[in-house]
Structure 1
Amino acid sequence: MVKLNICIDIDGTITDPYYFLEKANLYFKTTITKEQVVDYRTSKVFNVTETDYIKFYEENKILLHSNQELRSDALEIISILYEYHNIHFVTARDKSLELLTHSYIYRNNLPCDSIHVIGTPHKGEVANNLKCDIFIEDSYDNALELSNLGFKVLLIDTNYNRHPLNNNITRVFDWYDIYYEVNKYAITKEAI
């Protein structure tokens, strides 16, 4: 089997995509449910200004990102993939969260070859430098941008990313789907 370079986003991809919901509901005195989170821009979901959402996030980002629950089967599948492929975590998180992010990855026993906290949603340059074969993402905009740059993207399904896909993006519904798609891609690449 061909050894792939797999880039994996963190928030909403390996973690529960609605990790912010409980704290944001308390902060904004709302009762938004997962089903209502149909936009990646959380300020729109909570019907608050971007400035108000940024204030909430800045006050709570350490707590939010320290205690996120992993998605079901993420650890198991990433551990299996790591035996055969290179795993690189690439997150748009602010650089101020770099130490916390490394700590979170190691505390949750997530195996990887590298961790990149880049402080921007534009992940193409890092993916290119890592010679990324497959990028696993939850953000629709990021998936489109990466796919338009020529990267194969697996978009893990959430309420906020259900929009039309192009040929370079495959929607997956859980980490077992991801495992299947990665293996299929590796076998196809080996045949070339």
Structure 2
Amino acid sequence: MKPEKVLTIGIDIDGTVTSPSSIVPLMNESFGRDLRYEDCYEYNLANVYNITDEEFDKWLDQNGERLYKEAPVHGNADDILRAWHPHFKLVYISAREDRHRDVTINWFSRYDIPFHELDLIGSHDKLSAAKKWGVDLFLEDRLENALQLSEALQIPVFLFDTPYNQGDLPSLVHRVTTWDEVQEKIQLLSMERTSV
């Protein structure tokens, strides 16, 4: 009998494992605004804050370390990821740059969040990394990524519901609001795989 393949879960970090609202207070502080997380109706915060992409890139370059260090955990992601670690392969694929590896690993360590692989690709195009690691499903908060990954790889993507990722979803993209909901859906998926 063939050994059962371990489920490989691709996981975005910012807005998925970290709270999606964590960037807003820092940007308000820097740009003298008083926006709420609910006001962030699109992923490109340069548009939301009425600044140029270059200004946002410069801001992130200067504040990324602080943002990644101070971000709170998204709900009970830490508990669920600890429970998954012995059973699934956890591969974090993030648009963070590799120069933020230390602050990222320290943050994971502080919250006791386990991982098997940590791929900081410095780009929002996660397709080649997802292929490289052979992910079976993906957890994401950016709508464009969810659509691209589900279509190109024909895998389920769980999209965490945010003000900036609204829109119609294809059948492989599942909108979720909590980590508990993801846990339930992945348990069902695992049972389906083992019963095949």
TM-score by length of 2: 0.93
What does 1:100-139 align with in structure 2 at a 5 Å threshold? 100-139=103-142
RMSD: 1.3
Superposed, which structure 2 residues align to 1:10-159 within 5 Å?
Answer: 10-149=13-152, 150-159=154-163
**2:168 aligned partner:** 164
Q: What letter matches 1:82 in structure 2?
A: H
Structure 1 residue 107: deviation in Å?
Answer: 2.2
Q: What is the CA–CA distance in structure 1 between the aligned matches of 2:23 and 2:145, rounded to whole Å?
A: 19
- Amino acid in structure 1 at the alignment position of 2:118: I
Mapped to 2, the partners of 1:136 and 1:85 lie a distance apart of: 14
The normalised TM-score by structure 1 is: 0.95
Q: Unaligned 5+ residue runs, structure 1?
A: none
Tell me the distance in 1 between the aligned counterparts of 2:180 and 2:122: 29
**Between Structure 1 and Structure 2, how many residues are aligned?**
192
* Distance in 2 separating the partners of 1:142 and 1:78: 21
Structure 2, unpaired ranges of 5+: none
Deviation of 1:46 after TM superposition, in Å, equals: 0.5
> Percent identity at matched positions?
26
Contact 1:134–1:153 under 8 Å retained in 2:
yes
**After the TM superposition, which parts of structure 1 deviate over 4 Å for at least 4 consecutive aligned residues?**
none
Q: Using the alignment, how far apart are the partners of 1:137 and 1:177 within structure 2?
A: 14
